[in-house]
Amino acid sequence: MKGVPVLLFGLLLAAHGSALPAAFAEEQQFPTVKRVGFISQDRLFHDYERTKSSMAKLKELSDAKKAERDKMVAEIKGMRDELVLLNPESRAERQQAIDEKMKALAAFDQGAKETFRRQEEENVKTILEEIESVASSFAKERGFDLILSDRAVIYGADAIDVTDEILTRLNDKYAKQRP
C-alpha cells in the first residue's frame, strides 16, 4: 500500500512535468545593452558652477537675514537695558513693547528659515533636473543605452565614467545662460 501513493505522485509528476520544460523553454527576449556609462552625482552637483553660484546667493541671503536679525536683537537688548531706569508705569509699557518685539523676532526667524529652506529646495531641484537633462541628452547623442549613478554601481571602470564630459557640458551650458 505504501507504494501506491508514491506511484500516483510519480505518475502525476510525469504527466504535468512534461509541460514544465516547455514553459521554461520559451526564451524571454530582452534588449541587449551595448553601451553603459556612469556618473558621480555628488561630483556633478558640487562641481557644477550653477551649484556654486546658488550656494553663494544663499549665503548672501543668509548674511542679509542675519544682519537684519542682529539689528532687531540689538534693539530689544537696548530696550531691556533702559527698562531698569524707568518708573513702574513706564516699565510695564516698555515690557509690553519688548514682548511685541520678541514676538516679531520669533516670526522673523520662522519666516527667514522658511524662505531659506524654500530657496534651497528650489535650487537643488532645478540643478538635479538640469543634470538629468544634460546626462540624458549626452547619452542619446553618444549612443549610450544606459547611464547609471555611481550610487547604484559597486564597480565601474574609469573608461565608462562620463562624469567629466557631462560636467563640462553643464558648465558650458550654464556659462552661456549667465548674463
Q: pLDDT 10s per residue in the chain (179 long)?
A: 444 444 434 444 444 444 445 544 456 677 787 899 999 999 999 999 999 999 999 999 999 999 999 999 999 999 998 888 888 888 889 999 999 999 999 999 999 999 999 999 999 999 999 999 999 999 999 999 999 999 888 888 999 999 999 999 999 999 998 86
Q: Are 163 and 43 within 8 A, CB to CB?
A: yes
Helices (H), the chain: 3-17, 19-25, 41-47, 49-83, 88-142, 163-177
Provide the 3-class DSSP secondary structure of residue 37: strand
Length of the chain: 179
Cell 544606459 -> residue: 146
Q: Which uninterrupted H or E stretch holds 157? A: none
Determine whether 60 is exposed, middle or buried from the number of CB atoms within 10 Å of its CB (0-12, 13-18, 19+): exposed
Q: Which uninterrupted H or E stretch holds 147? A: strand 146-149
Predicted TM-score (pTM) above 0.85: no
Provide the 3-class DSSP secondary structure of residue 52: helix
Residues whose CB falls within 8 Å of the CB of residue 153, separated by 6 or more in sequence, listed in order: 38
Domains of the chain: 34-177 (3.30.910.20)
Determine whether 110 is exposed, middle or buried from the number of CB atoms within 10 Å of its CB (0-12, 13-18, 19+): exposed
